[in-house]
Amino acid sequence: MNINKLNKNKKLILSIEDIAELLSISKESAKVTANRYVKQNLLLRLKRNFYITPNKFENLKEDDLF
């Protein structure tokens, strides 16, 4: 599943461009994919076009947030 590729990535926060590059899809397809993953709770939307996986979010420390 493509979400595994996103989980294995070392970046903490993923942009639409990052998702497109990691999954080898167009930017428009990455927007649709990210939206679907958010609805399935596989990604969390931080703000417009920026996402984080729930696993990485849960492992964040307070210092990492600010």
Question: Residue 60: inside a domain, yes or no?
Answer: no
Question: Residue 12: inside a domain, yes or no?
Answer: yes
Res 45: pLDDT: 97
Domain count along the chain: 1
Res 66: pLDDT: 64
Look at phi and psi of residue 36 and say left if phi exceeds 0, alpha if psi is from -120 to 50, else beta. alpha
For residue 30, give the H/E element and its range: helix 27-39
> Measuring CA to CA, which residue among 3, 22, 12, 5 is closest to residue 50?
12
Question: Residue 42: inside a domain, yes or no?
Answer: yes
Question: Residue 56: inside a domain, yes or no?
Answer: no
Structural domain span for residue 23:
2-51
Q: Please state, in angstroms and rounded to a whole number, the distance separating the CA atoms of residues 21 and 44.
A: 19
Tens digit of pLDDT per residue, the chain (66 long)?
788 898 888 999 999 999 999 999 999 999 999 999 999 999 999 999 999 999 888 888 877 766
